[in-house]
Amino acid sequence: MTKQEALMETREPNHAIAEEDRLRADLYDFLAVLLAAPPSDALLAKTASLSGDAETDLGTAVAALSRIAKHSKAPAVEREFNALFIGLGRGELLPYASYYLTGFLNEKPLAALRRDMAARGMTRAPNVYEPEDNIASLMEMMASLITGRFGKPASVAEQKTFFNKHIGPWAGHFFTDLEAAKNSVLYASVGAVGRVFMEIETEGFRMSAE
């Protein structure tokens, strides 16, 4: 599996959305791909080509990720990915909502997510067995809601509901753990990008209610 889209059956979006929302969706998708599987040389090259605004926290984090990607090779990053997420029996981190919210896998947060997925026509691909509440899948789902990959684009209120229920309560903690993980090198910068992005999204959704 080299693309996160393998986790779910998707329809290509054909909707006009605001440029700001397109950029948000692109970042969610980018995080999804990086967290779904070890990046290829092509993805590392794409990551190395990114630039960020040094005057913003997110831009600074993206620029740092780009610098590390320039000096990273796919085999080394694959070993890093495996140590973080796979390991012998389990990796250093367990990137699942159920684990972060309850301390166990396959718990109520997964059941709640599956209900919301079914209501929106989201389905896991039949050849994929990883629980849907993993961070990569949730990043992809959020991008899909923004772009309308499963129908019309979700409203801000609908995005906020999904984010606050399935992502907001734990994703920031996961990305902070990823930054600090002993096996993180490239993925420490992925964690920084994710953490700052989750902070921006949380504040954006909070402001949307005012």
Provide the CATH number for the domain around residue 169.
Answer: 1.10.3480.10
pTM of the model: 0.92
Q: Is residue 3 part of a domain?
A: no
Structure confidence at residue 6 (pLDDT): 40
Round to whole Å and give the CA distance between 137 and 87: 20
Helix (H, G, I), strand (E, B) or coil at 9: strand
Q: Write out pLDDT tens, residues 162-181.
A: 999 999 999 999 999 999 99
Q: Which domain holds residue 79?
A: 19-208
E strand or H helix that includes residue 92 = none
Q: Is residue 5 part of a domain?
A: no
CA separation (Å) from 192 to 40, 142, 205? 21, 19, 20
Q: Is residue 194 part of a domain?
A: yes
Report which secondary-structure segment, H or E, holds 124.
strand 123-124
The whole-number average pLDDT for the span 58-83 is 97
Q: Please indicate, yes or no, if residue 197 is contained in any of the structural domains.
A: yes
Tokens of 58: 């997110």
**Within a domain: residue 170?**
yes
Indicate the average pLDDT of the chain.
91
43 lies in some domain = yes
Residue 46 counted as domain residue = yes
Average of pLDDT values for 122-145?
Answer: 91
pLDDT value of position 176: 98
- Tokens of residue 55, six digits: 């005057």
The total number of structural domains that make up the chain:
1
For residue 13, being part of any structural domain is answered with no
With a cut of 60, say whether residue 144 has pLDDT above it: yes
Cα separation of 135 and 141, whole Å? 10
